[in-house]
Structure 1
C-alpha cells in the first residue's frame, strides 16, 4: 500500500474526443505531483482525459458533479445558486465519495467546480483551488471571489491575469504556477519529416506559406471568425498563402457562418478545415505562422506556448494571459488590440514579406519560452508551492455554515432497503433465489403439517366409530342372554 498522501483532483469536464487546455493542465499537474502524492482524477464521464491518465498510470473515478458557471461569469443570484448546490444531492454524493476515498488533499480545477471544494471543506479536507481562467469583472465578481476564498486553503493560479481578482484574499493563500511541458512529449529531430508528411496530407506545396489556427472547439470566444477575416485580407495580398483551421464544431449556426463566409469568397480553395488532430506536433510542424485571436481574457494560452515550443512565430490578441506570454518572451510587437483583425493581418504580413524573419523569430521563441516557462522553471515553482502547502495550516469553515454531515440513524426497514439497493444484480438474483427456495420449503412444511392434521383427525374418527361398534355389539350380546 502506498505511503504517499492521497490527492483527489476534480476535473470539471472530460471531452470524449478533444481535450481542452484546462484538462491538459490538470493532467500535466497530476503527472508532476505523482512523485509527491497518490494522485486520483475525478471526472464527470469517460473521455480522452481518462484514457491519457490511464497511460500515465493515474487512476480515475467517474462521478458527474454539476458545475456553477456563474463563478466564472458572475451574475445576480450567484450566492443563492451556490447555496442551492450546498444543500443539493450532488453535495451529499460528493461527500460520500470523499468519505470512501479519504483523501489528504483535494484539488479542484477551474472556478466553476464548487461542489467538491464545499464538500471537502465541510469534512476538514484541505482544498487547493486551481484557477485556469480569468473571472469576469462586474458588479458580482466579489461574490465569486468570496466563495473561492471561503472554500479553499490555497489558491493556485496559472498566470498573473488569472490571479489579479484574488489579490485581496487571505494573506499567504495565493500562488502563481505557470504551465509548462515535458520534452518527452516533443521530438525536435522529427519536425522536418513531420512537416513534409503533414503538408503532403493537406496538399500544401513546399513553397506555400501556411497560417494556422488551433482550438479545441470553434466558438466565438476563441475568435475563429476573426482569424477568417484576417486570413481573407492576407489571401488577397499573398497568392502563396494557405490557411488551416483546426477545431471541432460546437455551435452549428456559428460553424455554418464560418463556412459560408469562406465559400462566398474567391479564396475558398485555400482554406483547410480540420475538426480534430491526434498529433498536435505534426500540425504545428506544417505551419509557418500561428494566430491566436482569443476574444476573451485568457487564463494563459497553451496554444501560443505550444507554437513557440515548436519554433513558430505567434500573432495574438492582447487578451489576459496571451499578452503575458508574448510580453515575457519579447513578442510585444506581435500583439494586436482585441477585436482588430486587420491588425492581425498586418502583423502576419511582416513575416510573409520577410520569410527569413519566420525562422529567426521562431528560434528565438523556443529559447525564450523555455527560459520563462520551461521544465526547470516549472519544477522550481512547483517545489516552492509544495513547501508553501506543506508549511501552512489549513483553515476551517465553521460547521454552522455548512449542512451537518453527521450520519442520521435510519430505521431498520430503511437500512434493509438501502442494503438491497447496493447489491449487484448478480447478488440480487442470488438473494431472490434463496428467498424463493425458502418460500418453497415453507410451503412444503405447511402442506406436510396440514396433511398430518388431517390424518390425525381421520384416525381419531375411526377410533370413535370402532368404539361405538364395540359398544353396540356388547349391548346386543347382553340382550340375547336375557332372552
Structure 2
C-alpha cells in the first residue's frame, strides 16, 4: 500500500477531487533556477520536505520540472522516476540522476533521447476508468438525432495537428451517406482560430459542433464510429482507449503510438495521415455495416480491459516496488 503525496505549483479545481479521496497534497511553487543562492535554498527546502513526508520515491509527471528536488532526492538516496508523455530529444543535465524513465508508448520510448540508449526507459500505457464509460448515456434526443442515424465523431482539441481539417473533408466527402458528423472539443489552435473553423463548417449540413463537453463519455456512447485523424506523431492518443471503453470502433491515422492501441481490422482501421480516400472508404464501410462496427467495438473493449485498465497500474506498482526495494 502506497501513501501518495502530490505536489502542485498552485491551487486548482483538481484539489477538490484529492480532498474527496483523502490524498495528501502540498502547494509547492516552482523555484528559482538561475540564481545559485536561491537554488541552494530550494534544495534545502526539498530536503526538508522529503524527510518530513518520509518519501520513498519521487515520480515526476512533467519532464524538466524541479531539478532541486532531484538533487535533494539524490542526496537522500531516493529513487526518481520521470514520466514522458511526449517525445523528448535533448536530455537535461540532471537526467543522469534519474533512475527510470517511463514512456506512455513504445513510440515515445524509442524516439526519446536517442543519444542515451543505455538509459532505463520503460513503457507503461495510459489507463482508463471503465466505470465512467459504463455509466454513459446516449443523448441522441438532446442532439436532435434519432436511433436510426449513424453518428461519426471527432472528439478532442480542435487543432490542425489533431486532423480537424481532414475530418471536415471526410464529412463533406460522405455528405450523401446519411450519417451525422459530431465535433466535440474546444478550439485551441492560434493558427486555426474558432472563427475560421466555424466558417468552414457553416455550410456543412451534416456536421454538428458541440463545443467543449464535460460529459464526453456521453458523446462516445452516442457515437457509432470515432475518427482520430491526427496529423502529428501522436505519442499515445487517449481518445483511442476511451472509445474502446465505450465499445466504439476507431478509424485512426497510422502515426506515433496509435498503432499500439488500434490494430487494423481488429478494433478499428488505420490509414496514412494524408489518405482521405482510405479514411472515407473505411468510414463508409462502417456506416453501411453496423454489425462490423459492433464487432470491432467489442474487440476494442476487450483490448482496453486487457491492456489499458489495471495492467498499467500493476506495472507501475512493480516499478515502485523494484526501485524502493533496491534502496
Q: TM-score, normalised by structure 1?
A: 0.59
Query: What is the deviation of 1:304?
Result: 0.5
Q: Quick check: 1:318 aligned with 2:254?
A: yes
Q: Which residue of 2 aligns with 1:110?
A: 62
Q: TM-score, normalised by structure 2?
A: 0.85
Q: Which residue of 1 aligns with 2:150?
A: 209
Q: Quick check: 1:292 aligned with 2:228?
A: yes
Q: Quick check: 1:354 aligned with 2:303?
A: no
Query: 1: CA distance between counterparts of 2:38 and 2:264?
Result: 42
Query: What is the deviation of 1:317?
Result: 0.9
Q: Which residue of 2 aligns with 1:179?
A: 126
Q: Helix, strand or coil: the match of 1:145?
A: coil
Query: What is the deviation of 1:246?
Result: 1.3
Moved over 4 A (4+): 86-94
Distance 1:46 1:212, change over 3 A: farther
Q: Quick check: 1:225 aligned with 2:165?
A: yes
Distance 1:147 1:368, change over 3 A: same
Query: What is the deviation of 1:108?
Result: 1.6
Q: Which residue of 1 aligns with 2:184?
A: 246
Q: Give the 5 Å matches for 1:15-26.
A: none
Distance 1:290 1:64, change over 3 A: farther
Query: What is the deviation of 1:106?
Result: 2.2
Q: Helix, strand or coil: the match of 1:231?
A: helix
**Which one has a larger percent helix, Structure 1 or Structure 2?**
1
Instruction: Note if contact 1:210-1:289 (Cα within 8 Å) is conserved in structure 2.
Output: yes
Aligned residues: 317
- Greater relative contact order (CA < 8 Å, ≥ 6 in sequence): 2
Q: Which residue of 1 aligns with 2:324?
A: 390
Instruction: Note if contact 1:65-1:90 (Cα within 8 Å) is conserved in structure 2.
Output: no
Q: Give the 5 Å matches for 1:56-75.
A: 56-65=21-30
Q: Helix, strand or coil: the match of 2:152?
A: strand
Q: What is the RMSD computed on CA atoms of the aligned residues?
A: 2.8
Query: 1: CA distance between counterparts of 2:280 and 2:221?
Result: 21
Query: 1: CA distance between counterparts of 2:191 and 2:283?
Result: 29
Q: Quick check: 1:262 aligned with 2:209?
A: no
Distance 1:107 1:250, change over 3 A: same
2:315 to 375, 381, 404: 381
Query: 2: CA distance between counterparts of 1:262 and 1:89?
Result: 55
Q: Which residue of 2 aligns with 1:101?
A: 49
Gap runs ≥5 in structure 2:
none
Q: Quick check: 1:150 aligned with 2:96?
A: yes
Instruction: Note if contact 1:212-1:290 (Cα within 8 Å) is conserved in structure 2.
Output: yes
Q: Give the 5 Å matches for 1:436-455.
A: none
Distance 1:162 1:87, change over 3 A: farther
Q: Helix, strand or coil: the match of 1:326?
A: coil
